[in-house]
Amino acid sequence: MAHFNTITLALTGASGMPYGIRLLEMLLKEGKQVFLLYSKVAQIVAQQEMDLALPSSAKEAEAFFNHQYQLPGGQLRVFGREEWFSPVASGSNPADAMVVCPCTMGTLAAIAAGMSQNLIERAADVMLKENRPLIIVPREMPFSAIHLENMLKLVRCGAVMLPANPAFYHHPQSVQDMVDFVVARILDHLGVKHSLIPRWGDTDHS
């Protein structure tokens, strides 16, 4: 399992913002450098689902999260949607891996089509063209044929499709336990150590 030190994390406007924020928290806790991107609709969803007001300014967002998590300088960098001179916009300086969590079907379709009309789409396009890991966490049900075809296209291009589908074999006792299951699977694919949930075979299933 590869280990990645610099992760681009994109939050889009699908339901499931607790997954993305918990993932951010865990990546920062484990000392990873995170390049954070989020859409306007992600700000609306964060407010609606978590009472979390994500700042519109990248500079204000960095200050907000640096204060919240007591981070060393430079560990978290936030980039605006049109910040084309950011590292994630170029294959000459990409992150080690990227996660889109949660991912809307619109963002998924744009990535599958190579649209690159905003920094989230461009960063994902860079991952694909540079053959670097791209993990997409869709949160939608049911899936239409268009959704499934776009997912298949991206998987064939090398992306990992990791739907936000929590399991129950670890006997979750809270919503947080269910969130942690999905986040744990993402961290596993990034090679990031964690103890969020018991691993299969480490629990008594009798």
Confidence at residue 206, expressed as pLDDT on a 0 to 100 scale: 47
18, pLDDT greater than 50: yes
Q: What is the mean pLDDT of residues 124-138?
A: 98
Domain contains 195:
no
Domain contains 199:
no
Domain contains 202:
no
132, pLDDT greater than 70: yes
pTM above 0.85, yes or no: yes
Q: What is the mean pLDDT of residues 137-164?
A: 97
Domain contains 159:
yes
Residue 77 · residue 34 · CB < 8 Å: yes
The CATH number that applies at residue 179 is 3.40.50.1950
Domain contains 1:
no
Residue 168 belongs to what domain range?
6-190
Domains contained in the chain, number: 1
3-state secondary structure the chain: CCCCCEEEEEECCCCCHHHHHHHHHHHHHCCCEEEEEECHHHHHHHHHHHCCCCCCCHHHHHHHHHHHHCCCCCCEEECCCCCCCCHHHCCCCCCCEEEEEEECHHHHHHHHCCCCCCHHHHHHHHHHHCCCCEEEEECCCCCCHHHHHHHHHHHHCCCEECCCCCCCCCCCCCHHHHHHHHHHHHHHHHCCCCCCCCCCCCCCCC
Band (pLDDT 50/70/90 cuts) for residue 30 is very high
Confidence at residue 199, expressed as pLDDT on a 0 to 100 scale: 84
Domain contains 119:
yes
Confidence at residue 1, expressed as pLDDT on a 0 to 100 scale: 57
Domain contains 203:
no
Confidence at residue 202, expressed as pLDDT on a 0 to 100 scale: 78
Percent residues over pLDDT 70 in the chain: 97
Pairing type for strands 6-11 and 33-38 reads parallel
Confidence at residue 203, expressed as pLDDT on a 0 to 100 scale: 58
- 36-68 pLDDT, tens digit each: 999 999 999 999 999 999 999 999 999 999 999
Q: Compute the mean pLDDT over every residue in the chain, rounded to the nearest whole number.
A: 95
Q: What tokens were used for 203?
A: 């629990």
Confidence at residue 160, expressed as pLDDT on a 0 to 100 scale: 98
Band (pLDDT 50/70/90 cuts) for residue 88 is very high
- 155-171 pLDDT, tens digit each: 999 999 999 999 998 89
180, pLDDT greater than 90: yes
204, pLDDT greater than 90: no
Domain contains 21:
yes
